[in-house]
Amino acid sequence: MQTNEFGLGRPLLGHLRAQGILATSVYTLRFVTHRDGDEAGIDRAIAEISQFFKQIQR
């Protein structure tokens, strides 16, 4: 997702940060996992991203 295109980068990063999920953004969002990350953590991040977009569609 190009954050400049939708203007949602900062709000999405704020939403994720509030949930304890860290991501970075300059021109695009970038997600990486820590070597100790697991599948459940990835699933949680995906669920929170999905939740963010559901909230903004209302």
Closest CA to 19 of 1, 46, 43, 45: 45
Return the pLDDT at 3: 45
Q: Which H helix or E strand runs over 25?
A: strand 24-25
The confidence score (pLDDT) of residue 33 equals: 83
pLDDT digits (tens, 9 = 90+) for 2-42: 444 457 788 888 899 999 888 887 777 778 888 888 899 99
21 contacts 44 by C-beta, under 8 angstroms: yes
